[in-house]
Structure 1
Amino acid sequence: MGRGRWRDMAAEELQQQYSPSRWARRLRGDAAVRAHIEAVTAGTQRARASTRTSLHVPYGEADGERLDLYFPAEPSETFPAFVYIHGGYWQCLSKDASGFAAPALVSRGVAVVAVGYDIAPKGHMDAMVLQVRRSLAFLAKQYSRIRGIYLCGHSAGAHLAAMVLCTDWTEFGVVPDIRGAVLVSGVYDLEPILHTYVNDALNMSWEVAQRNSPMLCVTQAVPAAAACEVLVAVAQHDSPEFRRQSQEYSQVSPCSASPSSADAAWAVLLGPVLPLQTFCGWGDGCCEQGRMLVLDEPSLLLRSGSWSGSAPPCWCCLPTGAALSRLVCLPAGSCQHGSF
């Protein structure tokens, strides 16, 4: 389904395609949303209780311009930072439910930063994009011990992280050391959103949607961002439109490793805090062209890496109940049941 095919859909079908909770298998509709919110909120509360934190750190003057930072108990002189941008279709959730991954990472010397921004209807799309960019500039200026920023965004957060990757940092007076990004179930072309219930709160015009669509901004990527590695992921049961958007963005993004360059990919741990069903590639068609997810034995990794031997195994070749520990970029046709 190429870009623009959504225009041929009936209104109800388009609503269905851009309603993620309708595609959940274990829970349905609002129950799936509630379960997600409860899980990430409880996980964040546990992280705050067990981790050294700096909460509600202002990076600007607006109410939503706050960061939560989770630090390693015994940090080295310098350390990497995992920056998480929450989803919620730009109109729900917050940084207060975004620290759930911190314990697994800080225990291995990685700081975690949960980014807050003003969601709709208070916030509008231009402002949200600017706020997230400003948060990265603030980190670069105020936390000199951070060496290497790894972005992760889910849903609306994946969109905002992709917009960060096409930022011209000259106006911010600093270039954040962004070394990698994981974009999960994002929307990279906002025009279809204009014709769904999602825009009721966002109230985007066509012009706003165009200038804030990562799919249309990839040519603006500056060298610093273009040098980083990006993994674009979808869930097993994401809608065809979500999968199309991710696949097409992964093919045009200058930041993403091309299928022919998988001999130098990077790996990120999200650890046992996330079940397999949260991130799971292309299902039975996981050997399609593009990037996919791979599981290995649970471990805690946030590093650059490369293959050895034959191509990596695809996730579907592994036990269904395995914990998600590593995400990697794979080339086309790489399901060869190899190892790395």
Structure 2
Amino acid sequence: MGGLAGAGGRGAGGAGGAAPEERAPEPWELDLRDVGVQDAPTDGFSCRPLAAELLCAAWGVRTVVLDPADGAESWRYNGPRTSLGPPAAIAAGGAVFARSEKGVIALDPADGAELWQLDAPELRDLVAVGDRLALQNGDSTVRFYAQETPERLGTWEVPGRYLTDLRAHGDRLLAVSRDEETGGAPEMMLLDGTGREQWHAPRPLAPVPSLLELVALDEEAAYFEEWDPELPVSVAVQRMDLASGEWVRTELPHPAEPRAVLADDGLVYVTDTAGRVTAVDAAAGEVRWSAETGVSGASEPLVADGRLYLSDQEGRLSVVDTADGGTLWTGPAHPGTPGLGSDAWAPAPVLLDGWAYVVTLGNTLYAVRLPEL
């Protein structure tokens, strides 16, 4: 059974305890086995900011909130042990939403206390859409709920098809589906936070000999990586304008691993395991630059404040200038103890108040102060 586990660190005192003392952060490293993670890549372990703390989750099995000052555990929620894949916990609307035995549970971000639950059998995806939640339960239906209460606000379905991806930006959601019998005819629909269709008809994906993988959505466009028809590498970035439906294809100068990140200015940064980063102006259909960074076995990238952050297979964090691909700084190695997923890639680093928090292939999570560059 899932449930709230005993918390360590500053959350242990409960609601009646004394207020936590302010203290300066220090570098720290946590062996993820101490929070029940046997192998970070295969367990799907990643972190994201939660106000002034870190929200970390291993798929739907375990959710833990950590104090970024020292890595101490504030609270933990153990989901159903049968959860073998996504979705991981998300934070939205003043709550943390995680997989539960019943379906989805809303937790108080302060202490992990249960706020409410809703039935969602066979949960496959959980996405925040503005102030709503979108749930996909392994069929052709997306169900929309309020974030404050388990109130159903709308439903959208595509009979005869199965959903392959949901991606939100602001109060809109892009749903990608395929024909149920053939697995072909990929198409998409743009929805609002109650499931109302924003286009007059579904739009087909651009015709390519292989797969288009949705990597990002912003106010103006959807962005895809185009895979090679024979190898699991991406060869181009495709951009579809949400208003006009126009597609722009940008061929990459070098094949890349299927890991890309979108910046606020509409640039897509594509990485590969050898350390090459390529910056693509997707609207113009142009490659801005392509540079070797030396980051072997690169993690998923993070872009923020004109810089790209990614770690390597030894856990070193590198900071790359998004203007030209030059490496500005590289931190020390944190090799840890690699597990079964050591040939996979690590999740993107997290930035919070001048510090970076890095999950490594060595099954560790560490904190490092970022230099002034």
Larger Rg computed on CA atoms = 2
TM-score (norm 2): 0.29
* Structure that is richer in strand per residue: 2
Greater RCO, 1 or 2 (C-alpha within 8 Å, sep 6+) = 1
* Structure that is richer in helix per residue: 1
TM-score (norm 1): 0.31
